[in-house]
Copies of this chain bind each other. A is one copy, B any other.
Amino acid sequence: MVFDADAIEVLTFDIFGTVLDWRSTIVEEVSTIGQGLYVQEDWVAFANAWRSMYSFMLGRVNAGQLPWTDLEGLNAAILAQILPDYGLAALDDGERASLSRAWRRLQPWPDTLAALARLRQRYLLAALSNGNMALLAHVSRHAGLGWHAVFSAELVQRYKPDPALYTEAARMLKVDPSRIMMVAAHPSDLLAAQRVGFRTAYVERPSEFDIAHADTVDPMTAFDLVVPDLGALASSLGLS
């Protein structure tokens, strides 16, 4: 697919999985808790269960089967459900709240910070995320990210891949969707952005692929750019 990189003014970033490595921090924090309680479980499976159930819950909110609940609210509810499956039913409220807040303490992928500094030379950089504003603000501070704009699903009370947030971002930025490139590691996110006219850059984060809903898609033909990481995105866009 041919596209004109000079026409792009704005890059919108998925945060959890694309910019940040959520899994390492969650696994690390829950294993520390497990060790303290002499519980041995597959903590990667725990992290994956937490994350995949939340994808399911977002869908229920978008379908109107659940009232609007922000991502931190959903994460806390899911945590309460899965703790018993992993031998952690005994955690008290404070311990549960602290583990939920691990989502505010995620680390960037190793390529993230340097790449964002390069991309910032030319593009308007915006977060476009299902995280609520408090979560995005805290995790950005913790990971050392700085944005020109932050678009949270909280603003439209609809979760990606519903079209509302992409459309609202374009409207608020007063930019034609064709001048915005969505950057994400999840095909479902990019397909939704593409449907409202955004350009798309697929970032290959291998550990993210299994939770994508659209793995019947071939990224090489479906998206404008396919890159192994954000540094390669900057290079693909011609930035030194």
Per DSSP, are chain A's interface residues mostly helix, strand or loop, or mixed?
mixed
Contact A154 B137 (CB under 8 A): no
Interface membership of A172, Cβ < 8 A: yes
Please name all residues of chain B whose beta carbon is closer than 8 Å to the beta carbon of A144 when the two chains form the complex: 120
Partner-contacting stretch, out of A15-23, A35-43, A145-153, A230-238: A145-153
* A99 beta carbon closer than 8 Å to chain B: no
Interface residues as binary, A136-160 with B (CB distance below 8 Å gives 1, 0 otherwise): 1110110011111110001100000
Indicate how many identical chains form the complex: 2
At the interface, yes or no: A173 with Cβ under 8 Å from chain B? yes
In this assembly, does A134 line the interface, its C-beta being within 8 Å of a C-beta of chain B? yes
- A180 to chain B minimum Cβ distance, whole angstroms, is 12
Contact in complex: B149, A146 (CB < 8 Å): no
* In the assembled complex, A27 has its CB within 8 A of some CB on chain B: no
CA distance A155 to B87 in the complex (A): 43
A146: nearest chain-B partner, CB-CB: B146
**Bound complex: CA A134 to CA B150 (Å):** 11
Interface residues of A (CB under 8 A from B): 72, 120, 123-126, 132-134, 136-138, 140-141, 144-150, 154-155, 172-175
Closest 4 CB pairs of A and B: A146-B146, A137-B149, A133-B172, A134-B174
